[in-house]
Structure 1
Amino acid sequence: MQRRNALAALVAVGCNIGAARMAPASGLSVWEISEAADWYLTTEALKAASVDLVNFAIRLPMSYLYGLGDTCSTHGMRFYVPVDILAADFSHLLHGRGVTLYAHTAENAMRLHQEPIPCRLREATFVLDGLMEHETELDPRTVYTDSHGYTEVVMASAALLGKALAPCIARMHELTLYKVDRSRHYPDLDPILDGTVKPHLVRRAWDETVRVIASIYARTASPSLILHRLGSSARQHSVHQALHEIGRVDVLIISSARLTMRTSVVSRAAS
């Protein structure tokens, strides 16, 4: 009987039809289905089941036809939420209360991680959560995001954790690019290098920055919580400033690589 109740609860929750609509089809009461859902379908149990399914799938020979899983992409989708939950808040795009479901998907179509976040929060803050907390056997090294999925601080943190953030930057021509040495001149790049990185801010807070990154790596706290605390202080934190400067270098490297790639493509097309 418990197995029957658990399966009915799984269908009710998984198909999003609810216990009230599932009860007549299963021959069980609403209370029995709801009780089974509360007991068995906890957040921890569902995550553990998802991890087991992903690990089983990537061991299948056919999964390698879709990729090795060393890259992943992130994407957030907003959903209207008619009930009151902690992660929901008002969204002007939904004209009501909603939630952003932020997901990490590997190149082989395996879902690494997903979590509901408030619509008002920027998605970039949660990029590292999925990379550090997915618990599957996959180890993506390159993460593709859209413009909402990156900031200089997140890019620097990812690089120090051994990950490469590859954002699809909208309006790249409006970016402010920074060079490291003000006295150095680059004839081909000087017209677009409008600022200078401040290495002294990195040197001043380097030891503390390493401790923060080590805390993220050791999972003593979620990356989103740590980065949010660093960025929300009234006086800008020294670690936040250091990561910001490192991230500016990462943005310059990515932008230069893409400009070089675009130039080579145009040259080949012209020839």
Structure 2
Amino acid sequence: MTGLQKTLKVVFLGLYLLVMVFPLYWIVITSLKPQKDIFSFPLRYWPQKFTMDNYVNIFKISKFHIYIGNSLIVAIIAALIVLVISVLSAYVLARFKFRGHSQIMLAFFLTQMLPGFIALAPLYLMMSKMDLLNTRFSLVLMYTVGLIPFSTIMLRGFFQRIPSSLEEAAMIDGCSRWSALLRVIIPVMLPGIASTFIFAFVQNWNELFLAVMFIDNDALKTLPVAMNSFILKFDVDWGAMSAGAVLSIIPTIVIFAFAQRFIVEGLTQGAEKG
């Protein structure tokens, strides 16, 4: 690679980084601006005065701590259920051939091609008849059902990378298939399991559409619904919206920071063989 090529590469990557980082920077800066400075003209890319009023106000004018708690409960529980079911189903689909195997995989792929809103009316009627509207369980159930197909497809790729001889050797040593799965295969699968859990958690954490449709009780609303409430009829509370956005991305940043190694390794391995 010549010097010119290296320079162009650095310039391109720098511009790309700027484009990616600037929206996050602008959200953080807006959340720290006084209300009158948010709409100032010309634009100020660095506020003259920093304030935490926007962060204080979102807890004063709304039950923001409750919304965060609801989102954590729903996102974590649904992600754990998705993980358990997907690990078991992916193991079966990766290790065994049976009648209907191809049809099940085809059905899983087809679910990823259909827009979710086409099932909204039947889902709403079903939740209503089961008396599950305005409950966290309805969101957990919907999130779990929606993420199992993709998570199963993702984990199946990891299982196919692991030689079946590992569990066969464990069973020869006296382990049952279930014990071999838990003691031998699962530890090797940790990158894939971590990646799948994080994927499911982030999807649940950011989901808005179903949360708006199934939850009316203010005490049960999730964080995306609370963020949506800052969009008023004739205005948008940009200060509160930005402060809420900053707080909402903290859990995902923490998770990615702790599991970065698993994410990179896991997604790369899972994509190599599916």
For normalisation by structure 2, the TM-score amounts to 0.22
More strand by share: 1
Alignment TM-score, normalising by the size of structure 1: 0.22
- More helix as a share of residues: 2
Looking at both structures, which has the greater relative contact order when contacts are Cα pairs under 8 Å and sequence separation is at least 6? 2
